[in-house]
Amino acid sequence: MNWKTLEFDQLTARELYLIMRARSAVFVVERSHVHLDADGHDEHALHLFAVDDMTRQMPILAYARIRPCDSEEPDIAIDKILTSPGRRGDGTAHALIERALQVICKRWPGRAVWVTAPAGLSGFYEQFGFRKMDGRLLERGTPHISLRWQPRKGSRNLFAVQRRERESDTIVDSFEFL
């Protein structure tokens, strides 16, 4: 598994196509959320993803878009979070969120992080220190909840978690910021 963190302009045409394909497969086809995926936020976001064999039809194993929030608040949003069906329950989702928080702590130190997730996944995000901020809301017909993560104040190590890597995976990091 190869992890990449790239700005929009750093993505190859193939990487962008595969990301958009994975997002459509999960959000539009699997979850029946008919929406315009190309929402104008990709150009100003970091794209964190894990890939396997780029020659495969669906090589994106996990993906998250990291971007400044739309509101006046200086917070960061993690959205478009997905894991491929074959990687669910194997620790890939945990690795994705851990990496996203690490990237945010390096790029935007001290900033709070927002996630809007299906209500049934709130416990998953709470494992990382996210806290519910609002009651349930309906997003494309599905109950969702807003969660917020705040880095620890006064700590040099803003985000420290135990990494859970599968022994069978070879992890290669590529953090490529402009």
Per-residue confidence (pLDDT) for residue 166, from 0 to 100: 36
Per-residue confidence (pLDDT) for residue 41, from 0 to 100: 92
Mean pLDDT by 10 residues, the chain (178 residues): 96 94 87 78 96 84 94 86 93 97 95 92 95 78 88 54 38 36
Total of domains in the chain? 1
157: domain range?
2-176
> Cα separation of 55 and 139, whole Å?
34
CATH number where 59 lies? 3.40.630.30
Pairing state between β 172-176 and 2-7: parallel
CA distances from 64 to 37, 57, 135, 153, 154 (A): 13, 19, 23, 25, 27
